[in-house]
Amino acid sequence: MTDQTPSSPTSSLAAPQMKPWIAAIHAYVPGRSTGADGRALIKLSANENPLGTSPAALAARDDAGPAHLYPDPDSAALRTAIAELHGLHPSRIVCGTGSGELLTVAASAFAGPGDEVLYVRYGFSLYEIAARRCGATPVEAPDADYGTDVDALLACVTPATRVVFVANPNNPTGSYLGADDLARLHAGLPPHVLLVLDQAYAEYVAPEQDDGGLALAATHGNVLVTRTFAKAYGLAAERVGWGYGAPPVIDALNRIRGPFNINRGAQATALAALADQDFVNRSRAHNATVRARFMEAMAALGNHGLRPLPSEANFVLVLFEGPLTAAAALAGLAEQGYIVRHLPGQGLPQGLRITIGTAEQMDAIAGILARLADPAQ
């Protein structure tokens, strides 16, 4: 009895075994800031704010307080300020380490093995990771010429569906569902299916074009809206996002989010950024003007096969459907000092997602693409 080797079903394995649903995940690929040769390039690959950050927010970050004490675990002051700005109740708000944390915990709280998590083809790449990491099955609905197709999404709902992710505006396509289409999508979902409406780019949408997501979440138990400080607020480095939904949904997210998920500096910085709506409004106005001019320049290259997709976000997905390929355009832009986003891993070898930078940067990019498309020019 004493000299018996203990045996267990796993004793023959040489190393810890990743769960199969984790092994099926391809890690998130962030936007690059260097070329293939390691050279630093002008980064228009991650939808960061070309105006930088509100100076008031930066000052608050420098003055955030002691580092040896844990931050407020509930981000109470920040949640109160968000609630005031948007006319919401703070108890229905949860903050996340970026909205990415909230997307992940939303899937984990409401889906698991045997359940399905649904989103559109050409959706945000984090949705697949969020679905797989809780053991659920990711399901992709067909797109409508790269846009979100409400009927196709609804047709993919099965008895196993638990969570539907919709980014509005969508990344990487820039497409946008108006309030009527969004309401129709929600009305077609069974009440036990959670609609996660990812509004990472909402601040770039003109107020009169609001998709009504916050109002839907205010009146229905199965809608979670997520927002971020990473884009229009210019705080990508601080990792702050927030979600809004019915109390049971927020309760579920609070159980599994990181206990001190918004660090002290990030809480202070986001609070000050929220108070500087002038910065956000300038970001929106800049984006609308420069994006319209860039769209026009891309549309003018239509005879060379370039096709910019309509965008309500701070980027444009340009399709290369002629002799100039997206891969060649990516290389040509890198040669001239710019890095943009090529997403062949997401089934988009034919497109480049180009963040709206400064007016000078976008004019330069348009000029480079025009020369690449028409070398005789």
DSSP state of 259: T
CA atoms within 13 A on the CB side of 33: 4
Among 198, 211, 238, 276, contact with ligand PLP (rule: CB under 6 A)? 198
Please, what is the minimum distance in Å from the beta carbon of residue 82 to ligand PLP?
14
Instruction: Confirm if 174 and 312 have CB atoms less than 8 A apart.
Output: yes
Q: CB under 6 A: which stretch of 55-63, 70-78, 113-121, 227-235 binds ligand PLP?
A: 227-235
For residue 170, the minimal CB distance to ligand PLP (Å) is 7
Can residue 244 be called a binding residue for ligand PLP (CB under 6 A)? no
> Distances in Å between the alpha carbon of 368 and those of 171, 183, 328, 350, 361?
24, 41, 12, 18, 11
Alpha-carbon span 74 to 79, nearest angstrom: 8
Residues 26-65 close enough to bind ligand PLP by CB under 6 A: 47
- Closer by beta carbon to ligand PLP, 198 or else 366: 198
200 binds ligand PLP (CB under 6 A): yes
One-letter amino acid for residue 354 of the chain: I
Say whether residue 124 binds ligand PLP (CB under 6 A). yes
Residue nearest to ligand PLP (CB): 98
Spell out the residues 6+ positions from residue 282 whose beta carbon is closer than 8 angstroms to its own.
51
261 binds ligand PLP (CB under 6 A): no
The verdict on 230 binding ligand PLP (CB under 6 A) reads yes
Q: Does 167 bind ligand PLP (CB under 6 A)?
A: yes
Selected binder of ligand PLP within 71, 100, 243, 245 (CB under 6 A): 100
Q: How far is the CB of 25 from ligand PLP (least distance, A)?
A: 17
Q: Minimal distance in Å, beta carbon 21 to ligand PLP? A: 22
Closest to 206 (Cα-Cα) out of 281, 290, 306: 281
CB 122 within 8 Å of CB 93: no
Q: Angle, nearest 10°, between helix axes 359-373 and 326-335?
A: 120
Instruction: Identify whether the C-beta of residue 45 lies closer than 8 Å to the C-beta of residue 172.
Output: no
Nearer to ligand PLP, 54 or 228 (CB): 228
Q: Contact with ligand PLP (CB under 6 A): which of 50, 71, 98, 243? A: 98
Total residues at interface with ligand PLP (CB under 6 A): 14
The residue (of 124 and 176) whose beta carbon lies closer to ligand PLP is: 124
**Helix 126-133 crosses helix 98-110 at what angle (to 10 degrees)?**
40
Residue 261 exposed, middle or buried by CB count within 10 Å (0-12, 13-18, 19+): buried
Residues lying near ligand PLP in the complex (CB under 6 A): 47, 98-100, 124, 167, 171, 198, 200, 228, 230-231, 236, 241
